[in-house]
Structure 1
Amino acid sequence: MNESKSSIIDSHCHIVFSNFNEDRELVAQRWRSQGVKALIHACVEPSEIPAIKSMADQFEEIRYSVGVHPLDAHHWDDKTLNILKNAALDDSRVVAIGELGLDLFKSENLSEQLSILMPQLKLAFELNLPVIVHCRDAAKEMLEVFSKLSKDGCCPKGVMHCWSGKVQEMRQFLALGFYISFSGNVTFKNAIDIHDCAKEVPPSRFIVETDSPFLSPVPNRGKRNEPSFVKYVVEKISELRGESFSEIAEKTTQNARELFALP
Structure 2
Amino acid sequence: MSTAVLPAAPLVDTHVHLNYPDFAADLPQVAERWRQTGIRRLVHSCVTPAEFPQLQAIADQYPEVFLSVGLHPLEAGQWQPDLAEKITHLAASDERVVAIGETGLDFYKSNPADIERQKESFWAQIAIAQAQDLALIVHCREAAAATYAILKEAMATGGPVRAVMHCWSGSPEETRLFVELGCFISFSGIVTFKNAETVRRSALEVPLSQLLVETDCPFLAPTPFRGKRNEPAYVQRVAQTLAELLGIPPEKLAEETSQNAARLFRLPLP
Does TM-score exceed 0.5, indicating one fold? yes
Code of the residue aligned with 1:89 in structure 2: it is A
1:119 is matched with which residue: 108, 124, 148?
124
Match of 1:174 in 2: 179
CA contact 2:39–2:233 (8 Å) conserved in 1: yes
Alpha-carbon shift at residue 116 of structure 1 (Å): 1.2
Q: Does 1:196 align with 2:192?
A: no
Unaligned 5+ residue runs, structure 1? none
Range with bigger deviation, 107-116 or 23-32: 107-116
1:7 matches 2:10: yes
Aligned residues: 261
Describe the SS at the equivalent of 1:152.
helix
User: In structure 2, what is the Cα distance between the partners aligned to 1:50 and 1:202?
Assistant: 36
Q: What amino acid is aligned across from residue 126 of structure 1 in structure 2?
A: A
1:231 corresponds to which residue?
236
Moved more, 176-185 or 77-86: 77-86
8 Å Cα contact 1:121-1:155 kept in structure 2: no
Could you tell me how far apart the structure 2 residues matched to 1:182 and 1:47 are?
27
Q: Shift of the alpha carbon at 1:80?
A: 1.3
Per the alignment, do residues 162 and 148 of structure 1 end up closer, same or farther by CA in structure 2, a change over 3 Å counting? same
* Identical pairs, percent: 44
Q: Deviations over 1:162-215 (max 9, x none)?
A: 000011111111111100000000001111111112223101001000000000
- In 1, the alpha carbon distance for the partners of 2:210 and 2:81 equals 35
Q: Deviations over 1:8-64 (max 9, x none)?
A: 100000010011000000000010010000000000001110010111000011001
Displacement after TM superposition at 1:153 (Å)? 4.3
Residues 209 and 260 in structure 2, CA contact (< 8 A), matched pair in contact too = yes
Q: Aligned AA for 1:196?
A: R
Q: Which runs of 5+ in 2 are unaligned?
A: 1-5
Deviates more, 1:219-228 or 1:3-12: 3-12
Aligned to 2:105: 102
1:71 and 2:71 correspond: no
Q: Is the 8 A contact 1:45 1:75 kept in 2?
A: no
Paired position in structure 2 for 1:184: 189
Q: CA deviation at 1:89?
A: 0.8
Partner residue in 1 for 2:40: 37
1:77 deviates by 2.7
Q: Which amino acid aligns with 1:64?
A: L
Distance (Å, rounded) in 1 between the aligned partners of 2:234 and 2:66: 18
Counterpart contact for 1:146–1:155, Cα < 8 Å: no
